[in-house]
Structure 1
Protein backbone atom coordinates (compact mmCIF):
# COMPACT_ATOMS: atom_id res chain seq x y z
CA UNK A 1 0.00 0.00 0.00
CA UNK A 2 3.00 2.32 -0.04
CA UNK A 3 1.80 3.92 -3.27
CA UNK A 4 -1.29 5.39 -1.56
CA UNK A 5 -1.19 8.76 0.19
CA UNK A 6 -2.15 9.25 3.81
CA UNK A 7 -5.10 11.61 4.37
CA UNK A 8 -6.07 13.56 7.45
CA UNK A 9 -9.34 15.17 8.36
CA UNK A 10 -9.96 18.69 7.12
CA UNK A 11 -11.06 19.45 10.70
CA UNK A 12 -7.54 18.89 12.03
CA UNK A 13 -6.24 22.12 10.49
CA UNK A 14 -2.50 22.68 10.83
CA UNK A 15 -2.23 20.57 13.99
CA UNK A 16 0.31 17.81 13.41
CA UNK A 17 -1.30 15.65 16.13
CA UNK A 18 -4.10 13.94 14.22
CA UNK A 19 -5.19 10.58 12.86
CA UNK A 20 -4.37 9.83 9.24
CA UNK A 21 -6.05 7.19 7.09
CA UNK A 22 -5.42 5.46 3.78
CA UNK A 23 -7.64 2.95 2.04
CA UNK A 24 -6.79 0.42 -0.61
CA UNK A 25 -6.53 -3.27 -1.53
CA UNK A 26 -9.41 -4.22 0.78
CA UNK A 27 -7.68 -2.73 3.79
CA UNK A 28 -7.95 0.46 5.86
CA UNK A 29 -4.86 1.73 7.65
CA UNK A 30 -4.81 4.30 10.45
CA UNK A 31 -1.90 6.03 12.13
CA UNK A 32 -1.20 8.98 14.36
CA UNK A 33 0.60 11.72 12.46
CA UNK A 34 3.23 12.17 15.16
CA UNK A 35 3.97 8.40 15.37
CA UNK A 36 3.87 7.18 11.78
CA UNK A 37 5.61 3.88 12.49
CA UNK A 38 2.60 2.51 14.41
CA UNK A 39 -0.14 1.50 11.96
CA UNK A 40 -3.52 -0.04 12.76
CA UNK A 41 -4.97 -2.16 9.95
CA UNK A 42 -8.62 -3.17 9.70
CA UNK A 43 -11.30 -4.11 7.20
CA UNK A 44 -13.42 -1.48 5.44
CA UNK A 45 -16.53 -2.88 7.18
CA UNK A 46 -15.01 -2.57 10.65
CA UNK A 47 -13.81 0.96 9.87
CA UNK A 48 -17.29 1.94 8.62
CA UNK A 49 -18.78 0.58 11.86
CA UNK A 50 -16.30 2.62 13.91
CA UNK A 51 -17.05 5.83 12.00
CA UNK A 52 -20.81 5.23 12.35
CA UNK A 53 -20.44 4.66 16.08
CA UNK A 54 -18.42 7.87 16.48
CA UNK A 55 -20.88 9.91 14.41
CA UNK A 56 -23.80 8.56 16.46
CA UNK A 57 -22.09 9.81 19.63
CA UNK A 58 -21.99 6.36 21.20
CA UNK A 59 -18.43 6.91 22.45
CA UNK A 60 -18.89 10.44 23.80
CA UNK A 61 -18.99 9.22 27.40
CA UNK A 62 -15.35 8.12 26.99
CA UNK A 63 -14.09 11.61 26.17
Structure 2
Protein backbone atom coordinates (compact mmCIF):
# COMPACT_ATOMS: atom_id res chain seq x y z
CA UNK A 1 0.00 0.00 0.00
CA UNK A 2 1.80 3.10 -1.23
CA UNK A 3 0.72 6.55 -0.08
CA UNK A 4 2.39 9.45 -1.86
CA UNK A 5 0.78 12.33 0.00
CA UNK A 6 3.55 14.43 1.47
CA UNK A 7 2.64 16.74 4.36
CA UNK A 8 4.50 19.77 5.66
CA UNK A 9 4.09 21.70 8.87
CA UNK A 10 1.63 24.57 8.92
CA UNK A 11 4.51 26.58 10.43
CA UNK A 12 6.23 26.41 7.03
CA UNK A 13 3.57 28.65 5.50
CA UNK A 14 4.06 29.14 1.79
CA UNK A 15 7.82 28.67 2.11
CA UNK A 16 9.07 25.95 -0.22
CA UNK A 17 12.08 25.23 2.01
CA UNK A 18 10.55 22.79 4.46
CA UNK A 19 10.62 19.22 5.68
CA UNK A 20 7.81 17.00 4.42
CA UNK A 21 6.63 13.70 5.88
CA UNK A 22 4.42 10.83 4.81
CA UNK A 23 3.46 7.42 6.14
CA UNK A 24 4.06 4.44 3.85
CA UNK A 25 3.46 0.85 4.92
CA UNK A 26 4.13 1.49 8.62
CA UNK A 27 7.23 3.58 7.95
CA UNK A 28 7.58 7.35 8.12
CA UNK A 29 9.42 9.00 5.25
CA UNK A 30 10.99 12.46 5.56
CA UNK A 31 12.42 14.69 2.85
CA UNK A 32 13.32 18.30 2.24
CA UNK A 33 10.99 19.91 -0.25
CA UNK A 34 13.89 21.19 -2.35
CA UNK A 35 15.69 17.79 -2.28
CA UNK A 36 12.73 15.51 -3.02
CA UNK A 37 14.83 12.60 -4.24
CA UNK A 38 16.61 12.21 -0.86
CA UNK A 39 14.31 10.36 1.54
CA UNK A 40 14.99 9.27 5.11
CA UNK A 41 12.90 6.39 6.44
CA UNK A 42 12.17 5.71 10.11
CA UNK A 43 9.80 3.36 11.91
CA UNK A 44 6.58 4.82 13.26
CA UNK A 45 7.48 4.12 16.94
CA UNK A 46 10.89 5.79 16.57
CA UNK A 47 9.32 8.80 14.87
CA UNK A 48 6.75 9.04 17.67
CA UNK A 49 9.56 9.11 20.26
CA UNK A 50 11.37 11.79 18.24
CA UNK A 51 8.21 13.92 18.12
CA UNK A 52 7.74 13.53 21.87
CA UNK A 53 11.28 14.80 22.41
CA UNK A 54 10.75 17.69 20.00
CA UNK A 55 7.52 18.70 21.73
CA UNK A 56 9.33 18.58 25.09
CA UNK A 57 11.99 20.98 23.78
CA UNK A 58 14.88 18.48 23.76
CA UNK A 59 16.18 19.82 20.45
CA UNK A 60 15.58 23.53 20.95
CA UNK A 61 19.32 24.16 21.38
CA UNK A 62 19.79 23.17 17.73
CA UNK A 63 17.65 26.05 16.44
CA UNK A 64 18.83 28.96 18.56
CA UNK A 65 19.43 31.09 15.45
CA UNK A 66 15.77 31.15 14.38
Tell whether the structures are fold-level matches, with TM greater than 0.5.
yes
Instruction: Name stretches of at least 5 consecutive residues in structure 1 with no aligned partner.
Output: none
1:1-63 → structure 2 map (5 Å cutoff): 1=2, 3-63=3-63
Q: TM-score, normalised by structure 2?
A: 0.86
Distance in 2, matches of 1:11 and 1:60, equals 16
Distance in 2, matches of 1:41 and 1:4, equals 14
Instruction: Name stretches of at least 5 consecutive residues in structure 2 with no aligned partner.
Output: none
Distance in 2, matches of 1:59 and 1:14, equals 24
In the TM superposition, structure 1's runs of 4+ consecutive aligned residues that sit over 2 Å from their partners are none
Report the CA distance between 1:24 and its aligned residue: 2.5
Alignment length (residue pairs): 62
Q: TM-score, normalised by structure 1?
A: 0.90
Q: Secondary structure of the equivalent of 1:61?
A: helix
Report the CA distance between 1:18 and its aligned residue: 0.3
